[in-house]
Amino acid sequence: MGDGLSHVDEAGAVRMVDVGGKPAVRRRAVARAVVRMAPATVAQLDNLPKGDALTTAQIAGIMAAKRTADLIPLCHPLPLTHVGVELEVVAEGVAIVASAETIAGTGVEMEALTAAAVAALTVYDMAKAVDKQMSFDVVLVEKEKA
């Protein structure tokens, strides 16, 4: 009944995948988010009522990556060797690139996606007082195993 889905057992119940037999190898993932906002909001990013949105979002993204297993029920806690969150002001808003690296028996894409998503949510939170129409999307850009 699991239909080959790794998080579903033969009876159809959810489970955490056993990665104990997989070799620990270097793994890296990159996710991207774009927070879209009005041009007037872009112009105010360095002077928002709540303070420095970009630095706050960068730290929030890094912290979130480290807590991914606490947020996503079936994710394995991973020993992250690096998390990077870069934010850039662009014409349509804020572009975010988050990367996560580990040496483990399972991938690190959920950590990169979580970092990008939480950084985007933080930008949203920091700017919502001046722009109620913001939106964002998050995508996985790259996943590699050495």
Annotated catalytic residue 52 = no
- Which helix (H) or strand (E) segment holds residue 63: the answer is helix 53-66
The span from the CA of 121 to the CA of 58, in Å, is 11
Point out the catalytic residue in the list 9, 52, 70, 125.
125
Instruction: Point out which residues pair with 83 in neighbouring strands.
Output: 100
The span from the CA of 59 to the CA of 5, in Å, is 34
Whether residue 73 contacts residue 51, with contact meaning beta carbons closer than 8 Å, is answered with no
Q: What are the structure tokens assigned to 110, written together?
A: 């959920």
- Quote helix, strand, coil % in the chain, to nearest 5: 30, 35, 40
Catalytic residues: 125
